[in-house]
Structure 1
Amino acid sequence: MTSQKITYIYALDGLRGIATLMIVFFHFNWQLFNPLLVKIAVFGQTGVDLFFVLSGFLITRILLNTKSHDNFFKNFYIRRLLRIFPLYYGFLIITYFILPLFKIGDIPPLSHQLWYYLYMQNIPATFIGFSSSGPGHFWSLAIEEHFYFFWPVLVYLLPTKRLIWAATGIILLSIVVRIVLINFDIGVFFFTLCRFDALAIGALLAYFEYTNKLISYRKYFLNIGVFSFVLLLISWLFTGGQHLDWLQVVKFTIIAVFYFCVVGYVAIQYPHNLISRIVGNRFFVFTGKISYGLYVFHPLIFTFIQNQNYNFYVTLLLSISFSYLTAYVSYVMYEKPFLKLKRYFEYV
């Protein structure tokens, strides 16, 4: 199948913004206001899964539509590098070397920093016996980077029709690895192979779009999406916080299937129905544009402001306001100059 023009879907920027807001909501200390909100905020943690599904979808649709172009690997990896590396390593410099100058934290040993420099920080977070020090929320960035490392090679080497089997195999592999690790009492939340299923499920969505099957599956998105959401709601109400082994095995895949349906429904319907227009409104799209900086900076800002002992409402207002302001300044003044360099690595 030949490459085709990739339609830009603004609502997907909106979904990225919503995913970021979910994570921000999860990280805020709602215990200051109402303990019930702490339990509700747990849903915000699944914003990471929405990020994974979105990334799998967006990256794979680019790869599928450019695999026959010149400089396929060079352009893909340099464009990813320009988007991800500057802010990632810039924030590590802030964390390790600038903040300690102001007596905020200490400079950890190089052996503890090294895991972050190599995008391997989720490994010691999984297996006991290794030490690392750095931004705790960067584990998800490591998983996405691992996916970017090998998935383009599979897309390039495999016939397009085989990708559905490759993605399905990755999904099954994630489930099997979770079963194995749980049997050895090893946590499955942070480990790459335990979370690849969400990215692979997003890749399946791109495959269906590329092969013009996405619209024919439209009727299933709403039904399966509602069914999977009900399963997650029941799980949250009756088993939340119990850390049941069997639930850990299937939970992440069910969450990914739910967001598969959400992304697919929005991508097909935009801008022709109310839900897609809401997701694609200016506020959510703007949040999606600055989402990388918002994700990177908000825990640091939250911690600093909450340590000032303001009342709840002032803390909430300042936390959100300064997080948005910092992310916007980062995007305009720091990230955007690197993004402009992408024009030198366009696909021919």
Structure 2
Amino acid sequence: MPSLLAPQRARPNHLPALDGVRLLAVGLVILHHITSGSQNSFFLHLIGVQRGNGLGPPLFFVLSGALLTTVINDLRDTENRYRTFMLRRVLRIFPLYFGYLLVAFVITFAVTGTPPRNLWAYALFSQNIFLQAAEQTGSKLEMYHLWTIAVQDQFYLLWPLLLWRCKTIRQMRMLCCAGIAGSILSRVLMVVLGLPTDLLIRSLPAVSACMCLGGLLALERSDRTWLSPFLLKAFVPLSILCGIWMWRGLDFTSPLGSLAGYQLVGLTCAAFITAAMHPVTLVARVLSSGVIASGGRKLAFGLYMWHPCLLDFCEHHLPFESKIVRMAIFLTVAILLADLSYRFYEKPFLRMKTGKPRQMPPGNPQTA
């Protein structure tokens, strides 16, 4: 995912700092789940007061768009490019995702005597579409976080086919801008038509602006425009505005939050990732440090997948009154489980050969 999902192989275009962004995004999701609604301190209030899905998912989506666009362009001049692209995504996503669903099935059946309902929605990566079915599984493992996987997989299916039709970088930029405009328009229509608020934060049309914005960041690496300097200069002002918006308690499902707040957060995430893509910045130096980058590359996906069920267990079933103790146990076990998952379960799939792409006649997009 993206964002959540580390690349299968090291690539010349790979930036370690983006692995650090991935780990930070997972950390924000976990922190939001731990502190949601808290008003005990400025920091916890700032992160936890916002309803919806916090800062983590928009950061995931912008990062996912940047990484995905880079990978797609790397495969542009290879044979069987779509097959190669999808096979790599399958090897990265499917083992842990469907492994989690299998564990949910086994535990639910063992505890209740009946299997979870409506797992077809998750198996088809459509839980963000069939919202009611996805919420009524009866699973003993938390499933609420899997909607981001569905959104990104839907984007994975479409984005390569659209991007490869573009012959120039200018056309790719126009495609990204059209995606952003279409996403904002879809939000306007959802608000006007009074559609379920969950669609504002979980449907592909509503969140694709962030991924298309990430696509623009990827294109900046090969053909720089005014966008990168603008985002670097605007990072601090955007962060301040984003902090004020979060502090005021506006959420992504309100009309103002959907039409203005979400775009503000997405733009702030883009500015942050732009800073991470420039090695001379403090953000890039911190995020590319060994432990952080390695954690994002190896542990982020496992942390994201397993943390909700571990958090639920530590919050409600440990015999300790101190929340600090329970959260320390939660974080320790979550990191250990993610590490074991990567070493002994995910890594063997990542080592599978997908075949070396054969180069076709050069057809790299031109700048104009």
The TM-score, its normalising length taken from structure 1, stands at: 0.88
Q: Structure 1 residues 9 and 131, CA, compared in 2 at 3 Å: closer, same or farther?
A: closer
Shift of 1:297: 0.1
1:334 aligns with 2:334: no
Output the amino acid matched with 1:138. Answer: L
The match for 2:18 is 12
The match for 2:269 is 259
Q: Quick check: 1:23–1:48 contact (8 Å CA) kept in 2?
A: yes
- Whole-angstrom CA distance in 2 between matches of 1:265 and 1:11: 10
- Whole-angstrom CA distance in 1 between matches of 2:215 and 2:342: 27
Shift of 1:167: 1.0
Bigger proportion of residues as helix: 1
Shift of 1:182: 1.4
The TM-score, its normalising length taken from structure 2, stands at: 0.84
Shift of 1:99: 4.3
1:278 aligns with 2:290: no
Aligned residues: 334
Q: How does 1:300-319 map to 2 (within 5 A)?
A: 300-307=309-316, 308-310=318-320, 311-319=322-330
Q: Quick check: 1:32–1:312 contact (8 Å CA) kept in 2?
A: no
Residue of structure 2 aligned with 1:196, choices 191, 208, 216: 208
- Whole-angstrom CA distance in 2 between matches of 1:147 and 1:6: 24
SS for the counterpart of 1:345 is: coil
SS for the counterpart of 1:158 is: coil
Residue of structure 1 aligned with 2:34, choices 25, 28, 33: 28
Q: What's the % identity of the aligned pairs?
A: 24
Q: Quick check: 1:113–1:132 contact (8 Å CA) kept in 2?
A: no
- Whole-angstrom CA distance in 2 between matches of 1:208 and 1:31: 38
Q: How does 1:147-166 map to 2 (within 5 A)?
A: 147-160=155-168, 161-166=170-175
Shift of 1:219: 2.9
- Whole-angstrom CA distance in 1 between matches of 2:23 and 2:158: 27
Q: Quick check: 1:57–1:206 contact (8 Å CA) kept in 2?
A: yes
Shift of 1:30: 6.7
The match for 2:79 is 70
Residue of structure 2 aligned with 1:56, choices 65, 81, 86: 65
Output the amino acid matched with 1:225. Answer: F
The match for 1:92 is 101
Structure 2: segments with no counterpart, 5+ residues: 1-10, 359-368
Deviation digits for residues 224-271 of structure 1 (CA, Å, limit 9, x no counterpart): 222322221221223435954122112222211111111122112x2x
- Whole-angstrom CA distance in 1 between matches of 2:162 and 2:181: 17
Shift of 1:148: 0.3
CA RMSD of aligned residues (A): 2.4
SS for the counterpart of 1:45 is: coil
Deviation digits for residues 113-134 of structure 1 (CA, Å, limit 9, x no counterpart): 1110000001133xx6886526
SS for the counterpart of 2:78 is: coil
Q: Quick check: 2:65–2:214 contact (8 Å CA) kept in 1?
A: yes
Q: Quick check: 2:61–2:214 contact (8 Å CA) kept in 1?
A: yes
Output the amino acid matched with 2:282. Answer: L
1:219 aligns with 2:229: yes
- Whole-angstrom CA distance in 1 between matches of 2:122 and 2:38: 32
Output the amino acid matched with 2:57. Answer: V
SS for the counterpart of 2:27 is: helix
